[in-house]
Amino acid sequence: MSDLERLAEANGIALNYVSELGDRRDVSREGIKALLTAMGIDPDAPAAPGHAVSEADAKQIASCYVPPFLEGNRVWGMSCQLYGLKSHRNWGMGDFADLAEFTRLVGDRGGDFVGVNPLHTLFPNDPERCSPYGPSTKRFLNPLYIAPDLEPEYAQIEPVAPDRLRALRETDLIDYSGVAAAKWDALARMHAVFPKEGARRKSFEDYREKCGVDLDNLALFEALSEHMQQQAGAVVPWFEWPDEYSSPTGSGIEEFRRLNGERIEYFAWLQWLADGQLAQAHAVAREAGMRIGLYVDLAVSVAHDSAATWAEPNLVINGAGIGAPPDALNPKGQDWGLAPLSPVALTEQNLVPLRMELEASMAHAGAVRLDHAMSLTRLFWIPKDKDAREGAYVHYPFYDMIGTVADASHRYSALVIAEALGTVPEGFTDALAEADIHAYRVLFFERRKDGEFIPPQAYPVRALACISTHDMPTIRGWWVGRDIEWRQTVGIYDAADAEEEDRARKTAKQQLWDALVTSSLVSSEGSLREQLDADAVARIHLFAAKTPTRLFGVQIEDALGEVEQANLPGRTDPHPNWRRKISTPLEDLSRNSFFTAVCKAVAEERPRR
């Protein structure tokens, strides 16, 4: 082993990894050197004891909370991209009022949970940055989800013109800038008439005191971001701000507070409104009979120019990003544009940052989904300005992180669900099951080496089964190869790749249909269908719902028979990631034949009891 390799291992950098196809891939010397440099380590220095997290330091795995009713029971629910919910009253994108109504609709049909995309704070002054997985902080909420018309202050101002709201609702894709302009205008006028005393003022002040310095830093950051944008006429990332504003303790901060106290209060007030409306949506879910209620998503990290990195710069690594190595979904790999947490800083802070993120997510939820749950043990770091193929895995303190998750789940009585798809380390899924963390089991991936779909009875109990996810094609889109068309359009596939994938898809479709025949869900007679109707989509859901998994999730796009998917992973312009609205307004869901058929099939297979 060379000195460089010893230095890498001493600092937690894995020299190789096993791909999702089972082949070993070695990390390049250039990649190792770049990652060491990003960590602040001289790659030419002699190897010395570092801060590596050893996978050999095994401890007993802590167990997460599981509600008693789930023992020996199977439940179901539905997931949505909250921004994509359509209604006749919202302001052009889904909001917390829509979420409350959606939970009622699903609860009335026997569902026990509604899953949502990450609801974390994004960038209010740059609304086109709409990926819920690239947040500014994970400790607070995206105020663009606020329904202004739910609050009493809205009745005290001149309402937004109905024609303006109607135009925002009628777009095929979300006009984030238009929605933000309407909401920020109304909310600013509402804040101006917010009472200076009384019960609502006290509730806000109590919330602000409870959230403490974290909320104060976020409100300060957003007020500063707005100020810098107004001065420059463009969005300015915080690391380009004048030195006196480059941290919460900068020399110009106190003077800025003195001059902009009302605006700082406004941004804190938005968080109070958002928190209250999310709490109400969870309460509606419980009132509708849901035993889990809201099931929220915790993103894996934050953006490099975020409020979190401004407030705690030593907690992240600036010279690297995180993503995924090349795999079947994206042969070029993925750079997610997110900052990796420093394992050293995280350990030195006794994992408090992780604990605070979990507590924020679990406050108004009965379950939490850990996006890219492999981050509990390792993350794929990509050196700045390098290709994903130059990246390497960096280890994190797995047992301590599991313990932190388990402790939070018991304190908040919250189920824990893990998205563990892609390049998964050996034994990781078994470790999650031992910790009572319910890993995703996606129908598309549950296949034998010969491609045949495994039978429902072969699925594990401690899991969440589903047909698809937001990063994958819908079942009808998969059936017609819409995802293949998109990958060719954006340059992930060339014509030969697309043709090969199309041939493989035809085989996979036949294998799925054969699995339905074997399970006596469809007749063996007749040729393969060109399109899937509502009955066929319902039967595919029934196939997956028959599994022994404790949880089964229906994606709203699948339940509505949509063809387009929410997100095509990677930098995939012109695909409209995170901008699609569902085709059917909430008020009309009960008349949608796909929705009715899917809910009926799944509810009969997994009745609430």
Q: What is the largest CA-CA distance in the chain?
A: 77
Q: Say whether 367 sits in a helix, a strand or coil.
A: strand
Count of domains for the chain: 1
d(CA 483, CA 443): 16
Q: Are 22 and 425 in contact (CB under 8 A)?
A: no
For 166-215, write each residue's pLDDT tens digit. Answer: 999 999 999 999 999 999 999 999 999 999 999 999 999 999 999 999 99
d(CA 391, CA 333): 10
- Considering the domain boundaries, does residue 230 fall inside one? yes
d(CA 178, CA 175): 5
Q: Are 540 and 467 in contact (CB under 8 A)?
A: yes
307 beta partners:
none
Give the helix ranges, DSSP H, for 387-494.
398-411, 428-434, 475-480, 482-489
- Considering the domain boundaries, does residue 256 fall inside one? yes
Provide φ and ψ at 16, rounded to 5°: -155, 170
DSSP state of 603: H
Cβ partners under 8 Å of residue 596, min gap 6: 534, 590
- Tell me whether residue 131 is exposed, middle or buried, using C-beta atoms within 10 angstroms of its C-beta: 0 to 12, 13 to 18, 19 or more: middle
Query: What does each C-alpha distance from 477 to 23, 389, 446 come to in angstroms?
Result: 30, 29, 18
- Considering the domain boundaries, does residue 264 fall inside one? yes
Q: What does the pLDDT average to over 447-474?
A: 96
For 339-366, write each residue's pLDDT tens digit. Answer: 999 999 999 999 999 999 999 999 999 9
- Considering the domain boundaries, does residue 197 fall inside one? yes
Cis peptide before 574 (omega within 30 of 0): yes
137 beta partners:
121
Place 48 in a pLDDT band, splitting at 50, 70 and 90. Answer: low
- Considering the domain boundaries, does residue 3 fall inside one? no
Place of tokens 């996810």: 469
d(CA 362, CA 374): 20
- Considering the domain boundaries, does residue 178 fall inside one? yes
Exposure of 415 in the CB half-sphere (CA atoms within 13 A): 30
- To the nearest whole number, what is the mean pLDDT of the chain? 95
Q: Are 318 and 339 in contact (CB under 8 A)?
A: yes
For 82-109, write each residue's pLDDT tens digit. Answer: 999 999 999 999 999 999 999 999 999 9
d(CA 407, CA 413): 10
Please list the helix, strand and coil fractions of the chain in percent, rounded to the nearest 5, in that order: 45, 15, 40
Cβ partners under 8 Å of residue 150, min gap 6: 96, 97, 277
Tell me what pLDDT residue 45 has.
81
For 514-571, write each residue's pLDDT tens digit. Answer: 999 999 999 887 678 889 999 999 999 999 999 999 999 999 999 999 999 999 987 7
Tell me what pLDDT residue 55 has.
47
- Considering the domain boundaries, does residue 446 fall inside one? no
Range(s) of the domain holding residue 264: 138-271
Secondary structure element (H or E) that encloses residue 514, with its range: helix 495-518
Q: Say whether 318 sits in a helix, a strand or coil.
A: coil
Tell me what pLDDT residue 57 has.
53
- Considering the domain boundaries, does residue 603 fall inside one? no
